[in-house]
Structure 1
């Protein structure tokens, strides 16, 4: 086993909780236990390599725990010809996992900000979404973490984030509400203070 730290709380801060991370062998053994609990034989041919595949997949699904949003937003560009209006990247695809049932929720993110002292590369906003999405999440927390990271690292005059997603915990189990979409949004700075800026944000998303 080795020491492992992960971010805690609903913001983009660097607070961490420490705990002992299981070994690869222990993780694979846990998968075998779940396969047997589900009612199948983990020793049959088709499942022999499943524990290794699952742990490798988890490494991809939850890679965000080892990535730093501050590093992603660290480089900005100041030579933008005096541009100080809304910068919007919309329809950013993402997939995450619900922390309550560990099943996926999939959707798209829309991010806007009003620059204060330069802009960040547009691809960095998509990478920022990916960092937080690749952790166990709730959609509400994911929304807050994205906008907090933008505010903490870019210091914009205002920011707006909106997420739209379908949650498999609703469509695959429970009420089985196929196609139901959950929408969350949060505004800060000028966007929170000025309804006109909010309306502009929503109008630009719909174009």
Structure 2
């Protein structure tokens, strides 16, 4: 489902009126359409299948490099993401660190980043975003374990309320063999102590 940009623009125009602004003044004349275009990007993941990027897997034992079977976790660190907090419709952004213990199937590393992109492009809360990423990877791959660590800065914390400009939020979602803290300790250390 695509964002209804025409409707968003009309509502932004109404919002400008509601806060006491003149939407026809030169500086705001194009704002409704600009916001509509931005929302088209911010919420492009609504209704999109987050598991679709994981559909093309590679067999570990019968694939192009059967002599390089992974003996441990596959980790992708520092995947930049941005989302919009569903509570205040303010942005939050940070880095995702994803690890999984492969079974018979592995996936291209870019596919993991794409899962993050799809799920972040929705109204979100960070806790749910991490859980959704972990569930998507665990459900689409035969992974023995999944670990997702998100470290993000939320504008609802930095710009309003307590106004803590350097505060970041770290969340952890784990599945399978990585559900126990001791089992994921090495991976957390590789991330750099973020969790």
Q: Give the TM-score normalised by the residue count of structure 1.
A: 0.85
8 Å Cα contact 1:86-1:112 kept in structure 2: yes
Q: Moved runs in structure 1, 4+ residues, more than 6 A?
A: none
User: Alpha-carbon deviation of 1:155?
Assistant: 2.1
User: Alpha-carbon deviation of 1:70?
Assistant: 2.0
Secondary structure of residue in 2 paired with 1:156: coil
2:25 to 40, 44, 57: 44
d(CA) in 1 for partners of 2:51, 2:158: 34
- Quick check: 1:155 aligned with 2:142? yes
User: Alpha-carbon deviation of 1:102?
Assistant: 0.2
Q: Which residue of 2 aligns with 1:202?
A: 188
- C-alpha spacing 1:69/1:25, structure 2 compared with 1 (3 Å): closer
Secondary structure of residue in 1 paired with 2:167: coil
- C-alpha spacing 1:191/1:44, structure 2 compared with 1 (3 Å): same
Secondary structure of residue in 2 paired with 1:89: strand
User: Which shows bigger deviation, 174-183 or 32-41?
Assistant: 32-41
Structure 1: gaps (5+ residues): 6-20
d(CA) in 2 for partners of 1:193, 1:34: 47
d(CA) in 2 for partners of 1:111, 1:136: 21
Aligned residue pair count: 187
Q: Which residue of 2 aligns with 1:53?
A: 34
Q: Which residue of 2 aligns with 1:90?
A: 77
8 Å Cα contact 1:84-1:116 kept in structure 2: no
d(CA) in 1 for partners of 2:181, 2:145: 10
Higher relative helix content: 1
User: Which shows bigger deviation, 76-85 or 66-75?
Assistant: 76-85
8 Å Cα contact 2:51-2:137 kept in structure 1: no
1:30 to 11, 31, 49: 11
Q: Which residue of 2 aligns with 1:166?
A: 153
User: Alpha-carbon deviation of 1:66?
Assistant: 4.0
d(CA) in 1 for partners of 2:17, 2:181: 56
- C-alpha spacing 1:86/1:31, structure 2 compared with 1 (3 Å): same
- C-alpha spacing 1:194/1:101, structure 2 compared with 1 (3 Å): closer
1:78-130 deviation per Cα after TM superposition (whole angstroms, max 9, x unaligned): 12432241000011111111000000011100000000012100011111111
Q: Which residue of 1 aligns with 2:165?
A: 178
Q: Which residue of 2 aligns with 1:17?
A: none
Structure 2: gaps (5+ residues): none
Q: Give the TM-score normalised by the residue count of structure 2.
A: 0.90
8 Å Cα contact 2:5-2:37 kept in structure 1: no
1:99 to 86, 89, 106: 86
d(CA) in 1 for partners of 2:91, 2:37: 17
